[in-house]
Amino acid sequence: MAFIEVRDVTKTYKMGEVEIKAVDEIGFGIDKGEFVVIVGPSGAGKTTILNILGGMDTATSGTIYVDNVDITKFNENELTKYRRDDVGFVFQFYNLVGNLTAIENVELALQISKNPLSAKDVLKDVGLGNRLDNFPAQLSGGEQQMLAVGRALMAKPKMILMDEPSMGLSPLLVKEIFAIIQEVNKQGITILLVEQNAKMALAISDRAYVLETGNISIEGNAADLLNDPRVKKAYLGQ
Protein backbone atom coordinates (compact mmCIF):
# COMPACT_ATOMS: atom_id res chain seq x y z
CA MET A 1 0.00 0.00 0.00
CA ALA A 2 1.19 3.49 -0.84
CA PHE A 3 1.78 6.01 1.96
CA ILE A 4 -1.35 7.87 0.81
CA GLU A 5 -4.19 5.89 -0.79
CA VAL A 6 -7.27 7.76 -2.00
CA ARG A 7 -9.96 5.27 -2.97
CA ASP A 8 -13.20 6.14 -4.77
CA VAL A 9 -13.60 9.46 -2.98
CA THR A 10 -16.64 11.55 -3.81
CA LYS A 11 -17.50 14.95 -2.38
CA THR A 12 -20.98 16.32 -2.98
CA TYR A 13 -22.17 19.80 -2.07
CA LYS A 14 -25.80 20.89 -2.00
CA MET A 15 -26.82 24.24 -3.44
CA GLY A 16 -30.52 24.47 -2.72
CA GLU A 17 -32.11 21.51 -4.44
CA VAL A 18 -29.08 20.94 -6.67
CA GLU A 19 -26.27 18.51 -5.80
CA ILE A 20 -22.83 19.27 -7.19
CA LYS A 21 -20.04 16.69 -7.21
CA ALA A 22 -16.77 18.50 -6.60
CA VAL A 23 -14.90 15.21 -6.98
CA ASP A 24 -16.39 12.01 -8.31
CA GLU A 25 -15.04 8.60 -7.23
CA ILE A 26 -11.47 9.79 -7.50
CA GLY A 27 -8.58 7.49 -6.68
CA PHE A 28 -4.79 7.81 -6.57
CA GLY A 29 -1.75 6.87 -4.50
CA ILE A 30 1.37 8.68 -3.28
CA ASP A 31 4.48 6.93 -1.97
CA LYS A 32 6.32 8.10 1.13
CA GLY A 33 8.74 10.91 0.28
CA GLU A 34 7.25 11.40 -3.17
CA PHE A 35 6.58 14.79 -4.74
CA VAL A 36 3.26 14.74 -6.59
CA VAL A 37 1.47 17.60 -8.33
CA ILE A 38 -2.18 17.99 -9.31
CA VAL A 39 -2.92 20.39 -12.15
CA GLY A 40 -6.19 21.32 -13.77
CA PRO A 41 -8.57 24.21 -14.42
CA SER A 42 -10.29 26.23 -11.71
CA GLY A 43 -13.29 24.40 -10.27
CA ALA A 44 -11.90 20.96 -11.09
CA GLY A 45 -11.87 19.84 -7.45
CA LYS A 46 -8.17 20.25 -6.67
CA THR A 47 -8.56 22.24 -3.46
CA THR A 48 -11.41 19.96 -2.37
CA ILE A 49 -9.06 16.97 -2.49
CA LEU A 50 -6.42 18.85 -0.48
CA ASN A 51 -8.94 19.83 2.17
CA ILE A 52 -10.25 16.28 2.53
CA LEU A 53 -6.76 14.79 2.65
CA GLY A 54 -5.72 17.43 5.19
CA GLY A 55 -8.64 16.66 7.49
CA MET A 56 -10.23 20.07 6.94
CA ASP A 57 -13.24 18.62 5.12
CA THR A 58 -14.87 15.20 4.92
CA ALA A 59 -15.62 12.98 1.95
CA THR A 60 -19.21 12.12 1.10
CA SER A 61 -18.06 8.60 0.30
CA GLY A 62 -14.86 6.64 -0.25
CA THR A 63 -11.79 5.99 1.90
CA ILE A 64 -8.41 7.63 2.41
CA TYR A 65 -5.51 5.77 3.97
CA VAL A 66 -2.52 7.67 5.31
CA ASP A 67 0.30 5.49 6.59
CA ASN A 68 -2.09 2.49 6.61
CA VAL A 69 -4.75 4.29 8.68
CA ASP A 70 -8.19 5.15 7.30
CA ILE A 71 -8.60 8.85 8.16
CA THR A 72 -12.23 8.89 6.96
CA LYS A 73 -13.13 6.98 10.13
CA PHE A 74 -11.57 9.57 12.46
CA ASN A 75 -13.70 11.39 15.03
CA GLU A 76 -13.14 15.10 15.71
CA ASN A 77 -10.43 14.52 18.33
CA GLU A 78 -8.58 12.13 16.05
CA LEU A 79 -8.83 14.58 13.15
CA THR A 80 -7.41 17.35 15.33
CA LYS A 81 -4.46 15.16 16.31
CA TYR A 82 -3.95 14.15 12.66
CA ARG A 83 -3.89 17.78 11.50
CA ARG A 84 -1.52 18.71 14.32
CA ASP A 85 0.97 15.85 14.02
CA ASP A 86 0.89 14.63 10.43
CA VAL A 87 -0.05 17.46 8.07
CA GLY A 88 1.55 20.76 7.13
CA PHE A 89 -0.66 23.05 5.05
CA VAL A 90 0.45 25.93 2.81
CA PHE A 91 -2.48 28.03 1.62
CA GLN A 92 -2.85 30.30 -1.41
CA PHE A 93 -3.12 33.44 0.66
CA TYR A 94 -0.55 32.63 3.36
CA ASN A 95 -2.97 32.78 6.37
CA LEU A 96 -0.36 34.58 8.49
CA VAL A 97 -1.16 36.46 11.70
CA GLY A 98 -0.60 40.12 10.88
CA ASN A 99 0.30 41.36 14.37
CA LEU A 100 2.94 38.67 14.92
CA THR A 101 6.51 38.80 13.63
CA ALA A 102 7.92 36.19 11.28
CA ILE A 103 9.44 34.16 14.09
CA GLU A 104 6.28 34.48 16.19
CA ASN A 105 4.16 33.20 13.29
CA VAL A 106 6.39 30.17 12.97
CA GLU A 107 6.48 29.65 16.73
CA LEU A 108 2.70 29.20 16.77
CA ALA A 109 3.49 25.55 16.05
CA LEU A 110 5.24 25.35 19.43
CA GLN A 111 1.83 25.52 21.08
CA ILE A 112 0.49 22.43 19.34
CA SER A 113 3.51 20.31 18.40
CA LYS A 114 5.09 17.84 20.79
CA ASN A 115 8.52 17.94 19.16
CA PRO A 116 8.90 21.05 16.99
CA LEU A 117 11.95 22.21 15.12
CA SER A 118 13.91 25.37 15.96
CA ALA A 119 12.03 28.39 14.62
CA LYS A 120 15.26 30.24 13.83
CA ASP A 121 16.66 27.25 11.94
CA VAL A 122 13.46 26.82 9.95
CA LEU A 123 13.37 30.48 8.94
CA LYS A 124 17.01 30.30 7.91
CA ASP A 125 16.24 27.24 5.78
CA VAL A 126 13.50 29.11 3.88
CA GLY A 127 15.67 32.17 3.32
CA LEU A 128 14.25 34.39 6.06
CA GLY A 129 17.08 34.19 8.59
CA ASN A 130 17.49 37.97 8.50
CA ARG A 131 13.74 38.73 8.69
CA LEU A 132 12.90 37.19 12.07
CA ASP A 133 11.43 40.36 13.58
CA ASN A 134 9.57 41.64 10.54
CA PHE A 135 5.79 41.59 10.42
CA PRO A 136 4.00 40.00 7.44
CA ALA A 137 3.12 43.43 6.00
CA GLN A 138 6.84 44.21 5.88
CA LEU A 139 7.54 41.14 3.76
CA SER A 140 7.12 40.71 0.02
CA GLY A 141 4.55 38.25 -1.31
CA GLY A 142 7.29 35.71 -1.92
CA GLU A 143 8.69 36.14 1.58
CA GLN A 144 5.23 35.72 3.07
CA GLN A 145 4.80 32.46 1.17
CA MET A 146 8.23 31.30 2.34
CA LEU A 147 7.13 32.12 5.88
CA ALA A 148 4.01 30.00 5.36
CA VAL A 149 6.21 27.10 4.20
CA GLY A 150 8.38 27.53 7.29
CA ARG A 151 5.34 27.43 9.55
CA ALA A 152 4.19 24.21 7.88
CA LEU A 153 7.60 22.64 8.54
CA MET A 154 7.76 23.46 12.24
CA ALA A 155 5.85 20.43 13.51
CA LYS A 156 7.90 18.02 11.35
CA PRO A 157 4.83 16.73 9.46
CA LYS A 158 4.70 13.49 7.50
CA MET A 159 3.37 15.39 4.50
CA ILE A 160 2.87 18.94 3.29
CA LEU A 161 -0.16 19.94 1.24
CA MET A 162 0.29 23.06 -0.88
CA ASP A 163 -2.53 24.98 -2.53
CA GLU A 164 -1.33 27.28 -5.32
CA PRO A 165 1.79 28.62 -3.54
CA SER A 166 2.82 30.57 -6.65
CA MET A 167 -0.45 32.53 -6.81
CA GLY A 168 0.19 36.21 -7.51
CA LEU A 169 3.99 35.96 -7.39
CA SER A 170 6.46 37.13 -10.02
CA PRO A 171 8.30 34.49 -12.08
CA LEU A 172 11.51 35.09 -10.12
CA LEU A 173 9.76 34.60 -6.77
CA VAL A 174 7.98 31.51 -8.07
CA LYS A 175 11.36 30.05 -8.98
CA GLU A 176 12.62 30.73 -5.44
CA ILE A 177 9.52 29.21 -3.82
CA PHE A 178 9.76 26.09 -5.96
CA ALA A 179 13.47 25.71 -5.13
CA ILE A 180 12.58 25.75 -1.42
CA ILE A 181 9.80 23.21 -1.98
CA GLN A 182 12.34 20.92 -3.66
CA GLU A 183 14.67 21.24 -0.68
CA VAL A 184 11.81 20.38 1.67
CA ASN A 185 11.06 17.27 -0.35
CA LYS A 186 14.73 16.23 -0.20
CA GLN A 187 14.31 16.00 3.58
CA GLY A 188 12.01 13.04 2.95
CA ILE A 189 8.73 14.89 3.43
CA THR A 190 5.90 13.80 1.15
CA ILE A 191 4.50 16.70 -0.87
CA LEU A 192 1.20 17.08 -2.68
CA LEU A 193 1.14 20.32 -4.65
CA VAL A 194 -1.90 21.82 -6.35
CA GLU A 195 -0.65 24.35 -8.86
CA GLN A 196 -1.82 26.44 -11.83
CA ASN A 197 1.76 26.97 -13.03
CA ALA A 198 1.83 23.55 -14.66
CA LYS A 199 5.14 23.96 -16.46
CA MET A 200 7.21 24.70 -13.38
CA ALA A 201 5.31 22.26 -11.17
CA LEU A 202 5.79 19.39 -13.62
CA ALA A 203 9.47 20.27 -13.98
CA ILE A 204 10.22 19.69 -10.27
CA SER A 205 7.80 16.90 -9.26
CA ASP A 206 8.01 13.11 -9.52
CA ARG A 207 4.52 12.32 -10.73
CA ALA A 208 1.41 14.24 -11.72
CA TYR A 209 -2.33 14.01 -12.09
CA VAL A 210 -4.56 16.18 -14.27
CA LEU A 211 -7.91 16.77 -12.60
CA GLU A 212 -10.85 17.92 -14.71
CA THR A 213 -14.49 18.26 -13.57
CA GLY A 214 -13.83 16.14 -10.50
CA ASN A 215 -12.11 13.27 -12.31
CA ILE A 216 -8.52 12.34 -13.10
CA SER A 217 -8.15 12.58 -16.86
CA ILE A 218 -4.38 12.07 -17.21
CA GLU A 219 -1.73 10.65 -14.89
CA GLY A 220 1.89 9.60 -15.11
CA ASN A 221 5.47 10.65 -14.53
CA ALA A 222 5.75 14.43 -14.43
CA ALA A 223 8.43 14.44 -17.14
CA ASP A 224 6.14 12.46 -19.44
CA LEU A 225 3.23 14.83 -18.87
CA LEU A 226 5.45 17.77 -19.78
CA ASN A 227 5.69 16.24 -23.24
CA ASP A 228 2.10 15.00 -23.49
CA PRO A 229 0.34 16.81 -26.38
CA ARG A 230 -2.92 17.05 -24.37
CA VAL A 231 -1.15 18.70 -21.43
CA LYS A 232 0.86 20.97 -23.71
CA LYS A 233 -2.27 22.22 -25.43
CA ALA A 234 -4.44 22.68 -22.33
CA TYR A 235 -1.96 23.82 -19.69
CA LEU A 236 1.37 24.77 -21.23
CA GLY A 237 0.16 27.06 -24.01
CA GLN A 238 1.87 25.02 -26.71
pTM given for the model: 0.89
What pLDDT does 65 receive?
97
Integer Cα distance of 226 and 208 in angstroms:
10
Asked if the structure places residue 79 within a domain, the reply is yes
Q: How confident is the model at residue 114 (pLDDT cuts 50, 70, 90)?
A: low
For the cut 80, the answer to whether the pLDDT of residue 96 exceeds it is: yes
Asked if the structure places residue 9 within a domain, the reply is no
Sheet holding 69-70, edge to edge: 18-30, 4-15, 61-66, 69-70
Asked if the structure places residue 27 within a domain, the reply is no
Average pLDDT, the chain: 90
What pLDDT does 115 receive?
59
Q: Which of 30-44, 46-60, 107-121 has the lowest mean pLDDT?
A: 107-121
Asked if the structure places residue 229 within a domain, the reply is yes
Question: Phi then psi for 28, rounded to 5 degrees?
Answer: -165, 165
Q: Give the residue-averaged pLDDT of 133-146.
A: 89
Q: Give the residue-averaged pLDDT of 54-82.
A: 95
What pLDDT does 113 receive?
64
Asked if the structure places residue 2 within a domain, the reply is no
Q: How confident is the model at residue 29 (pLDDT cuts 50, 70, 90)?
A: very high
For the cut 80, the answer to whether the pLDDT of residue 172 exceeds it is: yes
Total domains in the fold of the chain: 1
For the cut 70, the answer to whether the pLDDT of residue 49 exceeds it is: yes
One-letter amino acid at 3 equals F
CATH of the domain at 42: 3.40.50.300
Asked if the structure places residue 19 within a domain, the reply is no
What pLDDT does 40 receive?
93
What pLDDT does 173 receive?
83
Asked if the structure places residue 23 within a domain, the reply is no
Asked if the structure places residue 7 within a domain, the reply is no
> Structural domain of residue 148, as residue ranges?
32-57+75-235
Q: Give the residue-averaged pLDDT of 159-174.
A: 88
Quote the strand ranges of the chain, DSSP E. 4-15, 18-30, 35-39, 61-66, 69-70, 87-90, 159-163, 190-194, 207-212, 215-221
Integer Cα distance of 3 and 136 in angstroms:
35
